Structure 1
C-alpha cells in the first residue's frame, strides 16, 4: 500500500478549529492532504525526493501554481506542483472532480433555468461562489459530457459476462415546464475474470418492454453477448425483453424479491415456522434438494386455507427463482439476488437526492453516469472476492 508523508501546517489547522468554523476545518484538512498527495506524486514522477541527489532523476522541480477545485464540500484552492519540462499532471483533479462537477453542474442548470428553490441556490452559492452563469454551465458541460458519454458507450466486446444484473430506478425530471418521472436503467455484471463490472445505463420515459428492449439493444450494439443468466425482479416488460433479445439466456428471479412477495401473502401472526421453512428451501446447494423441500412444504401446508395465496405464489415463481442452483456453487451467493445492484442504486440515490428534481434528462444522465464511473474506478482497484468462499 502506498504511504504518504504529510507535512501539515498544524498552526493553520489549529486556528480553524479554535474558531469553531467546521466548514473551514474540513476544507483546510482536505487542502493539506491533497497538496501532500500531489507532492508525493511529483516525487514519484521525478524519481527523486526534494534535495535528493539521484542519477535516475527524470526532471526537476519548478515551483507551484494555484488551481481551484470544486468539491461537494465547496470550492478549495490547491497548491499544484510543477516540473521544469511541464509533463507532470497530478491525478487529484481527474479523480476527485468528475462526480462533484456533475453534481454542481446539475444544480447550476436549475439556477440558470429559473427552476431552483432557495435551498438549491444557497448550495450553489456555497459551492461555486456568488457568480454563476450560463457560460459556467457551458464550460463544465463541455468538459464533463464527453467523458461520461465515452464511458457509457465504450465497447464491451472484449470480455464475456456470464451473469448480468438488471434493475430500474425512478427519478424526477423537469420537462416542458412539468415534473415527470423517468426510469434509469442500470446493468452490472460478473465477468469471466470473476470481477464485478458496471456495464451501462440509460434514462428513458418509463419502465416498459419497449424501454428494456432499447436498453438491451444498446448494450448489444456495444458488443454484449448473451449471458448464461440475467438476474432481476419479475417486471413483465423486463422478462419479455430478456426473452426477445437474449435467446438461450436463462432468467433468474431475484430470490429476495420473491421471498418478500410470498411473505406478503402470509397472515401477520404465528408465521415464524412457515417463514423458516420457506427460507430453508433456498439455503441449499443442489437444485434437487430445493425441489424436495418445496414439495415437502406444499404437502405440509396445502390444506391450510390461510396459506393458499402464499402457496400459489411459491408454485408460480419457484422454478425461475432457483435457476442459480444450476451454476457452480461458488457463485450461488452472488447471483441469487439483485442485492449488489440495489446497493449500487442506493449510492446513486445518495447523490441524486441532493438534486431532487433534475432540470433535464441530460443532467440526470451526466450525474448518474459520473457517479457510476467513480464507483467503477473503485471496483477496478479491489481484488475480486467472488468465488473465494
Structure 2
C-alpha cells in the first residue's frame, strides 16, 4: 500500500506561525494532506507506483488539474490527479459535498426559522470564510419549491377529517412594481384519532366567497371528504362557501371571537352581572343547560337598552356558536374555537415579519409552506393525540 508522505515547506509554515496567521497554517496543512490522499487514491486505482512496471497496471498517470474547495477555514486550491482514460475519480470532493449539502440544508433551515437573508449570508461567511450573495441565498430557497408543492398537493383521501379549522391572514407582496395585500388561506384538521394535521394552503388576492370556494374545491380535488364540523370566524363569504361546498356539514363559529364581539358591546361600568351570566352560559356542560342559561340571560336583561346590542349579537349567533356541544365532552375544548389555528398563524407571522414584503406570490407560498411543514413535523407530529 502507498504510504502518505508530506513535503512541508517549513519556511512558509514558520512564517505563518510567527505572524499568528493560524488560518494559513490550517489551509497549508489541509492542502498537503488532501493532495497526498488523492495521490494515494490514484496509485490504488492504477495498481502501480510511479515509474513501476507491472502487468497489473490499469492505466497511466496524466498530470493534474486545479480545483477549489470551500471549507470552514476558507477556500483552498487542490491539485487533482488525472489518468489517461479519465475513469479515475477521487472521493475527496464527494465526501466534502456532504458537508456542502449539510451547509445548504442549514441555510434553508435558518430561512424557514425566520432568519433574514442578510443574517444568513453573514453566518455563512463566518463559518466558511467566504461571502455568499443575498441572491444566492434567495436562489437556494427555490430548492424548496418541489418539496412544498408536493406537500400542498398530497392526497387527503387516505384519512377522514371530522373537524376542520380554516382562517385567512394578510401579507404584503410585490406585484407589477406595486406592494399589494394578499390573503393566505390555511386549513388545519383533526383526524378521527384526534391528531392535528395541516391540510391546506393557498395565497389569493382577497378573502371572498369565490376565493374560499376555490380553496375548498382544491381540498376536495385532493380527496377531502365532507367533515362533521368546520370551525372558523364569521366571515360571510366563508360561511356561504362552507354551505355550498360541504353539504351536510355543520359550521361552528369561533366561540372566543363570538364572546369577544358580545363583550365589546357592553358598557364598561355596571355590567358585572351580565358578564358573569354570559360566562355561565358558555361554561355549561350540556346542550340543554347552555340553552336554558341563555334564555334566562335574555329574559333578565331584555328590557335594558344598555345591553340591547350585545343581546342582539348573542341571540343571532348563539346556535352557530354552540355546535361543538353536539360532540363528545372530551373533544369540545379543542373544537369550539380557532385558537389553535391562530397560534399557527402567529408562527407564520413571526417569520413573515422578517421579510416584511415578499418579492412575489410564489416566494410567499414557498416560505409559508415550508414553515407549515416544519411546524407540522416539530410540533404536531411529536405530540400525542388530544384524547385517549
TM-score, normalized by the shorter chain, greater than 0.5: yes
Match of 2:29 in 1: none
- 2:96 equivalent to 1:132: no
Aligned in 2, Cα 1:131/1:378: closer, same or farther, shift over 3 Å?
closer
Aligned in 2, Cα 1:133/1:333: closer, same or farther, shift over 3 Å?
closer
Q: For 1:11-22, list aligned pairs within 5 A.
A: none
Secondary structure at 1:167 match in 2: strand
Contact 2:194 2:386 in 1 (8 A): yes
Task: Measure, in 1, the Cα distance between the counterparts of 2:261 and 2:114.
Answer: 39
Match of 2:193 in 1: 193
Task: Measure, in 1, the Cα distance between the counterparts of 2:211 and 2:109.
Answer: 26
Name the count of aligned residue pairs: 293
Contact 1:99 1:374 in 2 (8 A): no
Task: Measure, in 2, the Cα distance between the counterparts of 1:92 and 1:275.
Answer: 56
Match of 1:176 in 2: 176
TM-score (norm 1): 0.69
Match of 1:165 in 2: 165
Task: Measure, in 2, the Cα distance between the counterparts of 1:138 and 1:338.
Answer: 35
Secondary structure at 2:203 match in 1: strand
Secondary structure at 1:213 match in 2: helix
Task: Measure, in 1, the Cα distance between the counterparts of 2:173 and 2:151.
Answer: 23
Task: Measure, in 1, the Cα distance between the counterparts of 2:164 and 2:272.
Answer: 33
Largest Rg, 1 or 2: 2
Match of 2:290 in 1: 290
Task: Measure, in 1, the Cα distance between the counterparts of 2:259 and 2:114.
Answer: 40
Q: For 1:75-114, list aligned pairs within 5 A.
A: 98-102=108-112
CA-based RMSD of the aligned residues comes to: 2.8
- 2:324 equivalent to 1:340: no
Contact 1:196 1:379 in 2 (8 A): no
Match of 1:372 in 2: 372
Name stretches of at least 5 consecutive residues in structure 1 with no aligned partner.
Answer: 1-64, 69-81, 109-121
Alpha-carbon offset, residue 124 of structure 1: 5.5
Match of 1:302 in 2: 302
Task: Measure, in 1, the Cα distance between the counterparts of 2:367 and 2:242.
Answer: 27
Dislocated runs of 4+, deviation >6 Å: 65-68, 89-95
Alpha-carbon offset, residue 133 of structure 1: 6.2
Match of 2:263 in 1: 263
- 2:151 equivalent to 1:151: yes
Contact 1:98 1:370 in 2 (8 A): no
Match of 2:326 in 1: 326
Secondary structure at 1:340 match in 2: helix
Aligned in 2, Cα 1:245/1:291: closer, same or farther, shift over 3 Å?
same
Aligned in 2, Cα 1:124/1:100: closer, same or farther, shift over 3 Å?
closer
Match of 1:281 in 2: 281
Alpha-carbon offset, residue 156 of structure 1: 1.1
Secondary structure at 1:165 match in 2: strand
